[in-house]
Structure 1
């Protein structure tokens, strides 16, 4: 489980196809000696397992399913990645409960300045848009954000300067794909309504 509070922007340093999957090595400012093999890390919102570590880097293997259902299939050497280590009991809950399971890939519609912040409009794929509510939570590339407006498949978020500085969201442009994870409560409420 995660909170959607990014603690480092890593960078893909190696991409290698394996017999089964794809292996990524990711550079980080974290002390990688504290990363256990098998640890879960959120990569742009996608929960992946650490399979190897070295000084200033760690490796993960990504299945074909994940490569086709997320933006990870487009990663190459040099790609910046929002990183978050798994939450521990007793940690401050700064964002919202995030599973690290991507629900779909959205597309940036527009980015515009609004005061010192940026208003970002995102198109959510069907049927995901029906789970997104104004003032609800959503995770965009691993970042916990509050939904400002919803209109059909398009929703908007307002990103403050601090979040822009410490995540990859500052580089988003119209047309860019982003990983989306809807609020877990919205998912279960919708499922309950379908079966009630």
Structure 2
């Protein structure tokens, strides 16, 4: 489990194709001795398992494997060497829950429709996949590329989000532009509430 509060921005340093799967090597600033093998780390909203790690100077190099299912449902298949990625380590009991509960299980891919910058703050409009739009509510939470964000407004399958200067500075969002595709995880409570309503309508 995660909170959607980004704690590092890593860099993809190698990509290896393995049939329908893919292995990525990522440089980050987490100390190697604090990140055990098998640890779960959220990469741009995707929960991936650390398979190897190596301290290299001030950086730690980790590798993660992505299955064909992950490549099909997320933006990971298009990540090139050199790409910056939002990172978050898994939540520990007793940690501050600064964002909202994020599972790291991406529901689909949204697209940035527009971006408007005002006094250092960025106003984004996103288009969600139609089947996920019903889970996005005004003043509700979404995770976009692993970042916990509050929805300002909803209009059909589009929704708006405002990002403060701090978020733009410490994540990949500062460089995001219209047309970019981003990983979307809807709020877990909204998903379960919708499923309960569907089950009731079906007589369960």
Confirm or deny a common fold (TM above 0.5): yes
SS in 1 for 2:91: coil
Match of 1:64 in 2: 68
**Deviations 1:122-169, CA, capped at 9 Å, x for gaps:** 000011011000000000000000000100000000000000000001
Deviation, structure 1 residue 19: 4.8
Taking structure 2 as the reference length, what is the TM-score of the superposition? 0.94
Unaligned runs of 5+ in 2: none
Cα pair 1:135 1:148 within 8 Å, conserved: yes
- Is 2:34 the counterpart of 1:30? no
Unaligned runs of 5+ in 1: none
Cα pair 1:113 1:119 within 8 Å, conserved: yes
In 2, the alpha carbon distance for the partners of 1:133 and 1:151 equals 10
Mark the structure with the bigger radius of gyration: 2
Deviation, structure 1 residue 21: 1.8
In 2, the alpha carbon distance for the partners of 1:114 and 1:195 equals 44
Count of matched residue pairs: 196
Cα pair 1:33 1:53 within 8 Å, conserved: no
SS in 2 for 1:131: coil
Give the 4+ runs in structure 1 shifted more than 3 A: none
Match of 1:94 in 2: 98
Match of 1:153 in 2: 157
Match of 2:142 in 1: 138
User: Which of 119, 130, 140 in structure 1 is aligned with 2:123?
Assistant: 119
CA gap 1:20/1:37 in 2 versus in 1, 3 angstroms? farther
Deviation, structure 1 residue 33: 2.2
Return 110-119 or 176-185, whichever deviates more: 110-119
- Is 2:13 the counterpart of 1:9? no
User: Which of 77, 82, 86 in structure 2 is aligned with 1:82?
Assistant: 86
Taking structure 1 as the reference length, what is the TM-score of the superposition? 0.98
